[in-house]
Amino acid sequence: MKEIVLITGAGGMIARKLSKKLENEYTVRFLTRKKKHDNDFEWDIQKGTMDETALDHVSHIIHLAGANISEKRWTKERKQELISSRVDSAALLLKTLRKKNIKLKSFISASGINYYGTVTTDKIYTEHDPPGNDFLSEVVVLWERSADDFKEQNLAERVVKIRTAVVLSKEDGALKKMLPTIQYGIGSALGSGKQYMPWIHIDDICSIYETALKNPEISGAYNAVSPQHTTNENLTKKIAEVLDKPLFMPNVPAFVLKLIFGELADALLEGSRASSKKIENTGFQFKFPDLKQALEHLLKK
């Protein structure tokens, strides 16, 4: 009999792709705001309610729910939404598991590479480094703390936190947003362009989740980031190169981004490198460790 995996954040690009990787070996269920398929179960995070039958006989939860960091300006209300969509959703799962007296084999939570802070430095961050001290690192610290509660309250045998870099996918996310201007020949780097952009191919992030699910030795925090580092400027150039498009526009000035995006601009203008060694030491092998190879796979299919 197949083990049951419950995935939150059903509408996201990782959830969609990951479920296809898992469905042959596991029974996959989704928690979603509106039921569309037989294996969907509804929940309302704001009201603190969910279809509790979603948890019946569940062995693993992969918690991907969370409002998009870069979708809107960070008003006071939006900041609270970014936190509560991650923390309150985990708390609802925890409360319902306790109520139904269910203990998971694993609780695997999305997390962010912004744990280390939105800064550009020469340092390459590892999982041993402390968190930063800006808003995004605060979000990730609270996010991870809500995941750790499952182990501390004995509701999961192990907890894994996947500190995710910028996921490259043609369907959604940063790459999709960058493509139109580059395709029209008006793409350009942001600010100095020297800020690092930790990245990972969509197939590799899904494989990391699959590895975390199947390997009971994996627990704690892992950087989900390609071993090859790049800057915003280099990423922009590589996309243009793969698309065979010219890049002649000047960089978008930092002040323009700050006018448009407010505090959110910091997340676009700053960024540091992070090490992939810990996940590689588990035996995980990246399918797309090279940026140009990754972009060619995504853009030339």
DSSP string spanning 77-146?
HHHHHHHHHHHHHHHHHHHHHHHHT--BSEEEEEEEGGGG-S---S-EE-TTSPP-SSHHHHHHHHHHHH
pTM of structure? 0.94
Which domains are seen in the chain, by residue range? Answer: 3-167+200-225+276-281 (3.40.50.720)
Tokens in use for 274?
């992070």
Burial of residue 249, with CB atoms counted within 10 A of its CB: 0-12 exposed, 13-18 middle, 19 or more buried: middle
For residue 168, the model assigns a pLDDT of 94
Bigger pLDDT: 199 vs 263 = 199
Q: Can you tell me the distance from the alpha carbon of 89 to that of 62, in angstroms, rounded to the nearest whole number? A: 12
Q: Tell me the backbone φ, ψ of residue 268, rounded to 5 degrees.
A: -90, -25
Distance CA 161, CA 101 (A): 23
Decide if 140 contacts 131 (C-beta within 8 A).
yes
Per-residue pLDDT, averaged over 235-255, amounts to 86
Tens of pLDDT, residue by residue over 151-170, are 999 999 999 999 999 999 98
Classified as helix, coil or strand, 59 is strand
| Helices of type H across 125-282 | 135-152, 173-183, 202-214, 232-243, 254-261, 265-269, 277-280
- pLDDT score for 180: 87
Q: Residues with Cβ < 8 Å from 85, sequence gap 6 or more? A: 45, 65, 66, 67
pLDDT tens figures, 17-74: 999 999 999 999 999 999 988 899 999 999 999 999 999 999 999 999 999 988 888 8
Is 70 exceeded by the pLDDT of residue 293? yes
Total number of residues shown for the chain: 301
How does pLDDT run across 67-100, given as a tens digit for each residue? 998 888 889 999 999 999 999 999 999 999 999 9
> Which residue, among 57, 157, 42, 162, has the nearest Cα to 92 in the 3D structure?
42
pLDDT (average), residues 281-300:
96
Range 243-263 average pLDDT? 80
Q: pLDDT tens, 157-203? A: 999 999 999 999 988 888 888 888 898 787 888 888 899 999 999 99
Structure confidence at residue 4 (pLDDT): 97
SS3 of 224, please? strand
pLDDT at 301 over 70: no
Q: Please report, as a single letter, which amino acid is at residue 129.
A: D
